[in-house]
Copies of this chain bind each other. A is one copy, B any other.
Amino acid sequence: MKHMIFGESHGTAIGVVLEGVPSGLALDLEQIAFELARRAPGKSALSTARREADVPEILSGVFEGRTTGTPLCAIIRNSDQHSGDYARLRDLPRPGHGDFAGSVRYDGCNDYRGGGHFSGRLTAPLVFAGAVAKQILARRGVSVGAHIRQIEGIREGSFLDTALSPALFDELARRDFPTLDEVRGQEMQEAILRARTEGDSVGGVIECAILGLPVGLGAPDFDCNVEGILSRHLFAVPAVKAVGFGVGFDCAAMRGSVYNDPLRMEGDRVVTETNHSGGINGGITNGMPVVFEAALRPTPSISLPQRTVSLSRHTDETLEITGRHDPCVVHRAVPVIEAAAALAACEVLEGGAAL
Contact = CB atoms under 8 A, between A and B. Distances in A.
A252 B107 contact: no
A338 B43 CA distance: 45
Contacts of A2: 4
Interface in A181-231: 195, 200-205, 215-225, 227-228, 231
Interface stretch (A31-39, A45-53, A89-97, A171-179): A89-97
Contacts of A180: none
Given A8-B68, A281-B98, A309 B354 contact: no
A156 to B, nearest CB: 12
B101 A284 contact: yes
Contacts of A236: 220-223, 225, 228, 283
Measured as residues with beta carbon below 8 angstroms from the partner, the interface class of chain A is 35 or more
A116 interface: yes
Contacts of A220: 70, 98, 102, 117-118, 122, 236, 238
Given A8-B63, A227-B235, A259-B298, A265 B309 contact: yes
A337 interface: no
A88 interface: no
Contacts of A216: 101, 104-105
By CB atoms of chain B within 10 A, which of A1, A15, A101, A240 has the most? Answer: A101
A68 B111 contact: yes
Contact of A354 (B1, B99, B264, B300): B1
Contact of A70 (B6, B73, B355): B6
Nearest to A230: B235
A98 B260 CA distance: 11
B201 A256 contact: yes
Nearest to A219: B105
Given A101-B216, A216-B101, A220-B98, A241 B277 contact: yes
8 contacts: A12-B59, A24-B108, A63-B110, A98-B281, A203-B259, A205-B249, A227-B241, A251-B295
Given A19-B221, A102-B282, 15 more contacts: A2-B4, A7-B59, A17-B17, A66-B109, A69-B106, A93-B263, A97-B281, A105-B215, A118-B282, A203-B253, A222-B236, A225-B236, A251-B296, A260-B306, A268-B314
Interface of A: 1-8, 11-15, 17, 19-20, 22-24, 57-61, 63, 66-73, 75, 93-102, 104-111, 116-118, 122, 136, 150-153, 195, 200-205, 215-225, 227-228, 231-233, 235-236, 238, 240-249, 251-257, 259-265, 268, 270, 272-273, 276-278, 280-287, 293, 295-302, 304, 306-309, 311, 314-316, 346, 349-350, 353-355
